[in-house]
Amino acid sequence: MTEFLLYINYRRLIRESISAFEAAHRLGYSVAVLGQPLPPELACYVDEWRQCNPASLGSLDSAVEELRKCVQIAGVICFTETAVEACAIVAAKLRLPGLPHATVSAVRDKSVLRERTQSVSGLTHRLLQNDGDLEEFIGVAGLPVIVKPVNASGSTGIYLIREPADLDVFHSTSKKIGNPTYDPTLRRETLTFLAERYIGGQEVSVEGYVWRGEVTVVGITHKSTSDPYCLEVRHIFPADLDCQMRRVIEEKAKEYVLALRLDNASFHLEGKYDGRRFSLIEVAARPGGDYIASHLVPLALHYDFYENLVRIAVGTAPLPPPAAQQVAGIHYILAKQEGRLLGYRGLEAVLDHPWVQQAIVETPVGAHIVLPPNDFRLQRLIAVISTAPTQTLLTNHLDWVSKTITPVFASE
């Protein structure tokens, strides 16, 4: 009887879901998905599908029981932010390896994460529960500070407060983000924000797994973000670090992961390195998104992140990552103005470059672009994935990509 791997929900970026499902098939498993209806371009990669609402325990339990009647489930794969809790519940129900349910709150709620890692990080922070809490925190911590929703996904609703005027922007727009329909991962009627002392330094993310309490670091990603809303603009994998820097980041990342009691899961840990220490920003108990796990890791290492996530889910150890063969990166073309997007200048020249592996449309031509803080999801327009022999060459190349592609708007 064919064994199935169970995926709850699929990734918003369909190419990431395709990569995950292809990995399962390569290892000889069939794919079952619980969640909303599948888009046609993804459905052909799925062998069994059941509709359910993973946020509803009744709906989730009913769908799992229905699925168990006709297939043998060998593992539960957590690879989406929206299904971290659901995957932990189902894995425990089926007595399969999975993230301990007691750990879910630590990776889904930034205030819990801060409490559990306080002894490792020592970062000054405060949960904002009353009017005036933010101003009071700034009076103690000083400026700049970061304000973020405790349980939103990605870069949704992050504010960098550098000066008093930024406070006005936060207070005038943050209540809209508190609407649960704004972000599909939100599970509260109102959204609580967390304020933290701003961490200086170079932002990186650490990609890896935990299996039976053993942490494997696959690699470190160099990240660039926009100012002031911290939208991710560029990733390069692996980051160009000397041995000492790499050792500090990897060892500290392991401390953070173990403090959160992650196990039988992958992790995407974001932080900043200032030359002396590595400070935690947040941790997700799933593979890195933005094509890091699905595209950059395989391109750079010739190592499949999703295949090793399958191994963990069925109770076997992940393979050790090899040394990098090349450097892979992704750069996002951002809109700098609002209006209806008509197209691009310079895109053909970029597509013709031999280092460009793929260009992916994030926001379609014809869309009406609204910029943060009014909308955090439309500013990224096109993602360009490239490879090069070294990080310096790739950085220069992606700089050229950024200057060459120019969005054209109806107002021009």
The predicted-structure confidence for 230-284, as pLDDT tens digits, reads as follows 788 999 999 999 999 999 999 999 999 999 999 999 999 999 998 888 989 889 9
For residues 53-71, average pLDDT: 94
Listed range (146-155, 186-195, 245-254, 344-353) with the worst mean pLDDT: 186-195
For residues 87-95, average pLDDT: 96
CATH level 3 topology of 327-412: D-amino Acid Aminotransferase; Chain A, domain 1 (3.30.470)
Q: Where are the domains of the chain?
A: 3-96, 124-197, 201-325, 327-412
User: Which residues does residue 222 pair with via DSSP β-bridges, in sequence order?
Assistant: 204, 236
Closest by alpha carbon to 73, among 315, 318, 317, 314?
Answer: 314
Q: Vertex 233, ends 231 and 238: CA angle to 5°? A: 120
**What angle, rounded to 10 degrees, do the helices at 84-93 and 57-68 form?**
50
Q: Cβ distance 347 to 361 under 8 Å?
A: no
Provide the pLDDT for residue 26.
Answer: 97
How do 145-149 and 278-284 pair as beta strands?
unpaired
Provide the pLDDT for residue 64.
Answer: 96
For residues 28-56, average pLDDT: 96
- Please report which helix (H) or strand (E) contains residue 17, including its range: helix 14-26
- Decide whether 201-325 matches 327-412 in CATH topology: yes
4 has pLDDT over 50: yes
Distance separating alpha carbons of residues 265 and 99, to the nearest angstrom: 6
The superfamily CATH assigns to domain 124-197 is ATP-grasp fold, A domain (3.30.1490.20)
Q: Cβ distance 368 to 406 under 8 Å?
A: no
Provide the pLDDT for residue 186.
Answer: 47
**Which single residue is written with the structure tokens 């449309």?**
361
pLDDT band (50, 70, 90) for residue 131:
confident
Distance separating alpha carbons of residues 329 and 384, to the nearest angstrom: 8
The total number of residues written for the chain in this structure? 412
CATH level 3 topology of 201-325: D-amino Acid Aminotransferase; Chain A, domain 1 (3.30.470)
Provide the pLDDT for residue 172.
Answer: 80
* pLDDT tens for each residue of 271-286: 999 888 898 988 999 9
Residue 297 sits at φ, ψ, to 5 deg, of -60, -50
Distance separating alpha carbons of residues 174 and 158, to the nearest angstrom: 9
190 has pLDDT over 70: no
Closest by alpha carbon to 158, among 81, 229, 232?
Answer: 229
Provide the pLDDT for residue 169.
Answer: 84
Q: Which residues of 165-204 are buried (b: 16+ CB within 10 A; e: fewer)?
A: ebbeebeeebeebbeeebbebbeeeebebbbbbebeebbb
Distance separating alpha carbons of residues 206 and 224, to the nearest angstrom: 14
Looking at every residue in the chain, the average pLDDT score rounds to 90
For residues 73-91, average pLDDT: 95
Provide the pLDDT for residue 184.
Answer: 47
Chain centroid to Cα 221, Å, comes to 12
307 has pLDDT over 70: yes
Long-range contacts of 373-376 (CB under 8 A, 24+ apart): 373/159, 373/169, 373/170, 373/173, 373/229, 374/173, 374/176, 376/154, 376/155, 376/156, 376/157, 376/229, 376/231
Distance separating alpha carbons of residues 292 and 237, to the nearest angstrom: 8
Cis preceding linkage at 320, omega within 30: no
Distance separating alpha carbons of residues 126 and 400, to the nearest angstrom: 41
**Using CB atoms within 10 A of its CB, is residue 390 exposed (0-12), middle (13-18) or buried (19+)?**
exposed
CATH level 3 topology of 3-96: Rossmann fold (3.40.50)
Provide the pLDDT for residue 155.
Answer: 57
* pLDDT tens for each residue of 326-385: 999 999 999 999 999 999 999 999 999 999 999 999 999 999 999 888 887 889 999 999
